[in-house]
Chains A and B, each alone.
Chain A
Amino acid sequence: MTAVAPLALPTLPAAFQQSNVDYLAILPLLIVFGTALVGVLVEAFAARERRHAIQVTLAVVGLLAAAASISVAAKHQGLTMGLTDGSSNRQLFALAIDGPALFMQGTILLMGVLGVLTMAERFGGIGPDAFTPSGASTPGSATETAAARAGALTSEVFPLTMFAIFGMMLFPTTNDLIGMFVALEVLSLPLYILSGLARRRRLLSQEASLKYFLLGAFSSAFFLFGTALLYGYAGSVYFGDLSKAIAAGPLAMNGLLLPGAFLVFVGLLFKVGAVPFHAWTPDVYQGAPTPVTGFMAACTKAAAFGAILRLAYVGLDTGRWEWTNALVLVALLTMVVGAVLSVTQTDMKRLLAYSSIAHAGFILVGVLAFDRKAVGAVLFYLVAYGFSTIAAFAIVSLVRQNGAEATHLSQWAGLGKRYPVVAGAFAFLMLAFAGIPLTSGFVSKFGVFSAAVGTGGATGTVLAVVGVVCSAITVFVYARVIVLMFFSDAPDDAVEVVTPSVSTTFSIAIGTLVTLALGVLPSALLDLADRASQFVR
């Protein structure tokens, strides 16, 4: 150990240097954050009966404006929020505004619009239907009843969602580990709260929230510890420095690098629900209000994979051979466990949760191909999966029995005969999840698997074969849902599909249409994803 040459410690700049911020480059982030803050003020000052309408309009307009401003930010790509150290010529920038970051931001914003619209569903009530009017009260207590009677509503979910979206947009944009950690927390904390706010089956919801919070806190701690170890290794938290340090660093220091990289990955893989860090997924997906589940499944996954891509391709790329095998193992486990366990599920939301785990595994296969094309394929996959997922959960929230959501599979029997349109849309989304041609699911799976076979070498081929086998297993699951809906007879106490408002109808329609459009004519988005696949360093 004594023979190790000391690494050059970063020298501090002699004088104070002002940080360079390109405000136009971070315009989308600023708009979303500003909207969230205004939302908090609306919560404080607007009259109760008008609050819902104001909040929904504000959120949707803010998200759309931010999405439009991405075209401005796209002209200002590069590193920003920081400075170039004059003495050592190091790039110390906190944010990387580049293709993948902007693509993910746009994806999250547009899916966020659909998410907000499904959350806004009121079914004729005064507040959002999915959320309890008094989240802090004990379920079944007098306080809860009083709150309901007084006409309380939970319109604060909209600013919370906006904060979560801000964190999600920041997540794949950050260029250093500390910033990534901050983004992780900003996106997670609102989601912990949102998960616990379900109007019905509140105990389950609160349990989900607590579980998500505790496990999320653990994973954040892992991430932070990994950051510390990597700082110890490289002397910097910036991805550029990290990459250079690994390229030049002595082998003997691997005692810091390996656990550091591993722990940081644990924090990120937790967010995408990769096995063995997936235990929270089914419980939280089931317990959280269904529109929140859909939003979370689509947007959190997109954001976290954006961050994983940046870490794997920019920060730790030079030390790839050190950690790839561990990630390959995770990908294999994720696909197999997600696919196999989804077979045994009897609850629709848990089934979709395990399906999302299996999909996380397929996306990881793309990540592990280490190629520019693979980045494009992963970006495409996240868009395709996200839109289908939001629509699927929105449909789940419509199927009801005695006012409460009927999520047990047996309750869905015969749905196709009584509600052919809704069941048809859901069946189509199931086919997309299964990866049947002419749906977006097929194109996205083809993209990641062909990237894996093309540039992933023998490992990639093995991953693709396992992925294909797991797809075949999941087909059984989705086909069983279709069998239930279309080929079985409805029970006597049949469920009903409540008629949704325009907003939910809109998100279901858009989600389904995007699924079809990306299956039939995917080349425009593939092209965009491909052009956006270059990371800035």
Chain B
Amino acid sequence: MTAMSTVPWLTILGLIPLVGALVVAFVPGSAENAKRMAIGFSLVTLVVGIIAATQFDRASSKQFQLGEQHSWIPQFGVSYSLGVDGIALVLILMALVLTPVCLLAAWHDVPEEAGPRGGQRVKTYFALILVLETFMVGVFAATDVFLFYVFFEAMLIPVYFLIGRFGGPRRQYAAMKFLLFSLAGGLIMLVAVIALYLQGPGGTDGFLIERLTGLQMDPTTERLLFVGFFFAFAVKAPMVPFHTWLPDAATESSPATATLLVGVLDKVGTFGMIRFCLQLFPEASQWATPVVVALAVLSVIYGALLAIGQTDMMRLVSYTSVSHFGFIVLGIFAFTNVGHAGSTLYMVNHGFSTAALFLFAAMLVRRRGSKRIPDFGGWQRITPALAGIFLVAGLSGLALPGLSSFVSEFLVLVGSFPTQPVAAVIATAGIILAALYILLMYKKVMTGPKPEGLVGEREHERLDEPARRGLTAVRDLTTREKLVAAPLIAAFVVLGFLPNLALNVINPAVDQTLSHVQKAIPNLNPAGTVAEGSSK
């Protein structure tokens, strides 16, 4: 089931940022230098990632490729086993793109302190983000359930430190809440992981996914195991009612952390649902579908409604994510090819669009010194370029046709309609609500009369001395910020017009996963009633 690779691409991908983290943290030198090195390491990782992706064979009949397998803890049946299918590959690539973008955006997040060791705090911050990148690669590439669990839990620690050390005023509370929610979910999953191994064939490699796929289990056991896994993923994703940690964590952490947290880490939840819940427990997944779909729809609507009511920009963005994750879960539990492909593409697109919303909003916040939406107003008159990219990010969030998220949202709805018509209809209302929360925010922040006491830098230069008095110049986009925005906006447009770039990689993997489900539930028709080829 796994095509082995002669070059350990995935291990290399994981090791580069880890080495980078050590170098950044411990090699003496100025903080500026450390930042540059961090970016350098993340760019090298991205390049290696792209090279690795070219080795990926879309036509292969094996589920996992670029595989590596070594015995790790044979006494427990654990292997160090990596491999990717199309779903994991696109998610890894998304993480590899987002990391340098976030590092660049995080340039001034942590002020350098005075004193001989003042730069250490900055170095720690950048090193932690690189450590996180290692774990992000690992968690998507693990093809051993135990190894997945190790990455799943271990990645909490760098995030915990990122939130707790470099966050806002309530960071201690947010970091603790994040850790406790995630660990509670993870530890319940641990019992399920142990029990799953005992259900399987056992032996020294009994934790490999391929050995645990297609097990004949007693229905009650299978359902309990499903619940154990699903609970952890629902907390991670996050779905209503396990979502309350997200707004706190995302608001209190630095923008780069929030981006990686919501954009990549939370995807582990939905990725886990596809890889583990559906593939390993197909019957139980179908048994749980009504409840899961209800929760997904609830997340779509409730998250959107809460987003409309927010006055804090970061909080608003994090609630929109709750809504988007509802869509993703709906597509997964629709059990159709189209829905699955849509959900996977949605994960990628959501990563970019959330990154854009968080990072662009952070640019505004840094200029204004406040996260509160009522503190803004009329900013498109003083920072037109920033307003422009902010609008693009917002439109991507509300799935405007032509931008990438439209494709995925459409596919999810089309894919879930055949099997979950009621849910799909209700979820469609989420699109309208999305337009509402995005455009309302844009209106309150950007339009309206020019803010008092502030003036754009160009105009500031034109004014003569007496007229300048009492006015503060606000810079529009800096070069660094343009570099942050460019790849994200490029991703919207490219994936919006050429979604097949990703879908061609995703579709074979989706077919593989659903074929496992189909083996267990023969009357399932994953093609739904949708005409073949709508996703191709």
Contacts and interface: CB of A to CB of B under 8 A. Distances in A.
A, B in one complex:
yes
Interface of A: 376, 420, 431, 436-438, 442-443, 446-447, 449-450, 453-454, 461, 464-465, 468-469, 471-472, 475-476, 479-480, 482-483, 486-488, 522-523, 526-527, 530
Contact of B183 (A449, A472, A530): A472
Given A487-B165, A522-B73, A450 B194 contact: yes
Contact of B190 (A449, A475, A486): A449
A436 B194 contact: no
A487 B183 CA distance: 19
Contact of B191 (A438, A449, A523, A530): A449
Nearest to A527: B75
Nearest to B166: A487
Nearest to A484: B172
Contacts of A442: 150, 153
Given A437-B150, A487-B165, A487-B172, A479 B194 contact: no
The A contact surface, by secondary structure, is helix
B165 A475 contact: no
Given A471-B187, A488-B172, A437 B154 contact: yes
Nearest to B146: A446
Given A487-B172, A487-B175, A438 B197 contact: no
B154 A436 contact: yes
B390 to A, nearest CB: 31
B154 A523 contact: no
B150 A476 contact: no
Contact of A450 (B76, B153, B180): B76
Contact of A480 (B120, B176, B183): B176
Contact of A468 (B150, B161, B191): B191
B429 interface: no
Given A487-B164, A487-B175, A523-B74, 5 more contacts: A376-B75, A436-B157, A469-B187, A523-B75, A527-B75
Among B75, B161, B194, residue most surrounded by chain A Cβ atoms (within 10 Å): B75
Nearest to B74: A523
Nearest to B184: A472
10 contacts: A437-B154, A454-B198, A464-B194, A468-B187, A472-B187, A476-B176, A482-B160, A483-B172, A486-B164, A530-B75
A523 B80 CA distance: 12
The B contact surface, by secondary structure, is helix
B188 interface: yes
B1 interface: no
B161 A486 contact: yes
B75 A453 contact: no
A475 B188 CA distance: 14
Nearest to B117: A420
B72 interface: yes
Nearest to B167: A487
B187 A431 contact: no
Interface string B147-181: 00111011011001100110000011001100110
Contacts of A446: 76, 190, 194
B75 A526 contact: yes
Nearest to A488: B172
A301 to B, nearest CB: 23
A480 B171 CA distance: 13
B316 to A, nearest CB: 26
The 7 closest A-B pairs by CB, nearest first: A437-B150, A487-B164, A526-B75, A450-B194, A468-B187, A437-B153, A437-B154
A442 B154 CA distance: 10
Nearest to A483: B172
Contacts of B150: 437-438, 442
B153 A476 contact: no
Nearest to B156: A436
B174 to A, nearest CB: 10
Interface in B112-165: 120, 149-151, 153-154, 156-157, 160-161, 164-165
Nearest to B149: A437
Contacts of B164: 482-483, 486-487
Nearest to A522: B73
A453 B72 contact: no
The bracket for how many chain B residues form the interface is 20 to 34
A465 B190 CA distance: 9
B179 A479 contact: yes
Contacts of A471: 187
Nearest to B124: A420
B264 to A, nearest CB: 19
Contacts of A420: 120
Interface in B178-221: 179-180, 183-184, 187-188, 190-191, 194-195, 197-198
Contacts of A472: 180, 183-184, 187
Nearest to B150: A437
A7 B253 CA distance: 73
A527 B76 CA distance: 10
A436 B191 contact: no
Nearest to A454: B198
A431 B153 CA distance: 11
Nearest to B224: A461
Contacts of B172: 483, 487-488
A406 B380 CA distance: 55
Nearest to A373: B75
Contacts of A454: 194, 198
Contacts of B180: 472, 475-476, 479
Given A468-B188, A483-B172, A449 B194 contact: yes
Interface string B22-62: 00000000000000000000000000000000000000000
Contacts of B73: 443, 522-523, 526
Contacts of B75: 376, 523, 526-527, 530
Nearest to A476: B180
Nearest to B180: A476
A117 B164 CA distance: 35
A447 B76 CA distance: 8
A437 B186 CA distance: 11
Nearest to B164: A487
Nearest to A480: B176
Nearest to A434: B183
Contacts of B165: 486-487
Nearest to A453: B194
B76 A453 contact: no
A453 B190 CA distance: 11
Contact of B179 (A447, A475, A488, A523): A475
B358 to A, nearest CB: 22
Contacts of A483: 164, 172, 175-176
Among A454, A476, A480, A487, residue most surrounded by chain B Cβ atoms (within 10 Å): A487
Contacts of B183: 472, 475
A522 B149 CA distance: 16
Contacts of B153: 436-437, 442
A218 B212 CA distance: 52
A523 B180 CA distance: 29
A472 B71 CA distance: 29
A479 B187 contact: no
A437 B144 CA distance: 15
A465 B192 CA distance: 10
A465 B73 CA distance: 23
B182 to A, nearest CB: 10
A511 B46 CA distance: 37
Nearest to A376: B75
Contacts of A482: 160, 164
Contact of A464 (B156, B157, B184, B191): B191
A436 B187 CA distance: 10
Nearest to A445: B190
A472 B180 CA distance: 7
Nearest to A523: B73
Nearest to A479: B179
A420 B25 CA distance: 12
A483 B183 CA distance: 16
A443 B291 CA distance: 34
A523 B73 CA distance: 5
Contacts of A522: 73
